Amino acid sequence: MEMDDLILVSVGALREQAREAGVDLAPKKLGSALRPLEEGEQRVVTSGDIMKIFA
* pLDDT tens per residue, range 4-50: 666 778 888 888 999 999 998 887 766 555 566 677 777 777 788 78
| pLDDT at residue 25, as a whole number | 87
Residues in the chain: 55
What is the rounded CA–CA span in Å between residue 23 and residue 47? 22
| pLDDT at residue 50, as a whole number | 83
Question: For the chain, what are the domain ranges?
Answer: 3-54
Helices (H) and strands (E) in the chain, counts: 2, 0
Q: Find all residues with CB under 8 Å of 28, minimum gap 6, and list them.
A: 44, 45
5 DSSP assignment:
G
Contacts 24+ apart (CB under 8 A), 2-6: none
